Amino acid sequence: MRFSVPRFIHTADWQIGKQFGQFDHSEAGVLSDQRINTVARIGELATQVKADAILVAGDVFDMQTVSCKTLHRLATALDSYSGPWVLLPGNHDAAVAESVWQVWQRTVQLPANIHLALKPGVIELQAAGLAVFCAPLTQRHSQSDLTEPFSHYDCGAGLVRVGLAHGSVQGILPDQMETQNPIAADRALTSGLDYLALGDWHGRLEVNTHTFYSGSPETDVFRNNDSGNVLEVQIDSPGAVPEVTVHRTGYFRWYQALCGLRIREDLEQLQEQCAAFDRLAVVKLRLEGALDLATYQDLARWLGTLEARVHALLTDDEALAIAPSDNDLLDLQADGYLAEVVTELKAEQESNAVSREALRLLLQKLAQHQQDVRA
């Protein structure tokens, strides 16, 4: 008979093999590799807090085609914790007829403490005091609630009942998340679960006192959803309210900002906002407004400095225009025909991306010419 209190780590949405196509090759490679390093840190955390198990609520892999090298590296990362891991397929890595899970099993000799929940049912972890009710996705999308059978599952007496599922709790997540793989918000109550561990939403979210999304342990999108965590869950006895502790696991910190730039003080404010960013920052800036030529040139130089300081910088300046002043044009000696071209491009740049880029290139060439002349 077990007398200690069950404690486990709830995590999800590792997305191993994610490509990060919006970044350049070197930046993307580091972000992808870090996801495996974070898995190892999760195992180390579980060992540190003396967890009885680690439960992974779906999307272990980002896609069905993952390299053999990545599969071996993930298996090595799982060596960081000697207790049971329970890994559930989600919508990205559904347990279809020939899936990444079958390839992984053929490629790597997985140890006995790795439990792959490829079929619906109950995995009893007697030593951990847990019965894990599993609802794997066996196709990418389902219109029915795959956790409904939990109400009919049985398990050994005295075990804490934990559901493991991947999908969208109805009425809780944004509407676009609720069209596939629905999960009833009251599933823990109706199925007598002590805890329902969910994946799919990449941020941490408490649905109710017995139902949680852990979020992805390593942030992967620009969204303010409290990602980069795992949950340590302790349940004193069957029927008790879970005690949930948040542990920060994310290595990179993702930031996004919409910046309106009209005057130099706006640029100075943006620079101050980004002053603390370092090599662990992944930054996306959306710039809009209009700047005189001198301030625009200072912005371009500062963005180059910022890009060198952070891990990755994405800049969306489609809505940022250049508004050269009369003094700017005098300094550039943009008179006569050149002045007419500049005026025409200025008028067209708000509605025509080609005109905006042409104006930028023309002004840059004129500025460089004046520098060469003065040198």
Position 4 scores a pLDDT of 66
> Mean pLDDT over residues 31-49, rounded?
98
Would you say 64 and 99 are in contact if contact means Cβ atoms under 8 Å apart? yes
Position 161 scores a pLDDT of 96
Place of tokens 């003396």: 50
Position 254 scores a pLDDT of 96
Residue 1, pLDDT above cutoff 50: no
Give residue 231's identity as a one-letter amino acid code.
Answer: L
**Distance between the two ends of the chain, CA-based, in angstroms?**
86
User: How many Cβ atoms are within 10 Å of 138's Cβ, its own excluded?
Assistant: 16
Question: Which pair of tokens denotes residue 64?
Answer: 């069905």
Mean pLDDT of the chain: 89
DSSP 8-state assignment for residue 149: G
Question: Measured between alpha carbons, how far is 269 from 276 in angstroms, rounded to an integer?
Answer: 13
Band (pLDDT 50/70/90 cuts) for residue 170 is confident
Residue 88, pLDDT above cutoff 90: yes
Domain ranges for the chain: 7-248, 253-374
**Lowest-confidence range among 120-134, 182-196, 227-241, 359-373?**
359-373
**pTM recorded for the entire structure:** 0.87
Band (pLDDT 50/70/90 cuts) for residue 345 is low
> What's the pLDDT tens digit per position in 107-138?
999 999 999 999 999 999 999 999 999 999 99
Position 150 scores a pLDDT of 97
Percent of the chain topping pLDDT 90: 73
Percent of the chain topping pLDDT 70: 83
Band (pLDDT 50/70/90 cuts) for residue 361 is low
Position 128 scores a pLDDT of 95
**Lowest-confidence range among 101-110, 276-285, 292-301?**
292-301
Position 338 scores a pLDDT of 59
Decide which of 364 and 206 is more confident: 206
CATH of 7-248, one of 3.40.190.10, 3.40.50.300, 3.10.20.600, 3.60.21.10: 3.60.21.10
Position 78 scores a pLDDT of 98
Strand residue runs (E) in 157-227: 160-166, 168-169, 182-183, 195-199, 205-208, 211-213
Position 323 scores a pLDDT of 74
Position 156 scores a pLDDT of 87
> What's the pLDDT tens digit per position in 224-249?
889 999 999 999 988 899 999 999 99
**Lowest-confidence range among 153-157, 168-172, 199-203, 253-257?**
168-172
Residue 3, pLDDT above cutoff 80: no
* Beta-sheet pairing, 195-199 with 211-213: parallel
Give residue 265's identity as a one-letter amino acid code.
Answer: E
Decide which of 375 and 253 is more confident: 253
Residue 217, pLDDT above cutoff 70: yes
Band (pLDDT 50/70/90 cuts) for residue 42 is very high
Residue 348, pLDDT above cutoff 90: no
Position 223 scores a pLDDT of 86
Position 229 scores a pLDDT of 98
From the DSSP assignment, how many helices (H) and strands (E) are in the chain? Answer: 9, 17
Band (pLDDT 50/70/90 cuts) for residue 172 is confident
Question: Measured between alpha carbons, how far is 74 from 88 in angstroms, rounded to an integer?
Answer: 15
Question: Measured between alpha carbons, how far is 357 from 79 in angstroms, rounded to an integer?
Answer: 52
SS3 content of the chain, % helix, strand, coil (to 5): 35, 25, 40
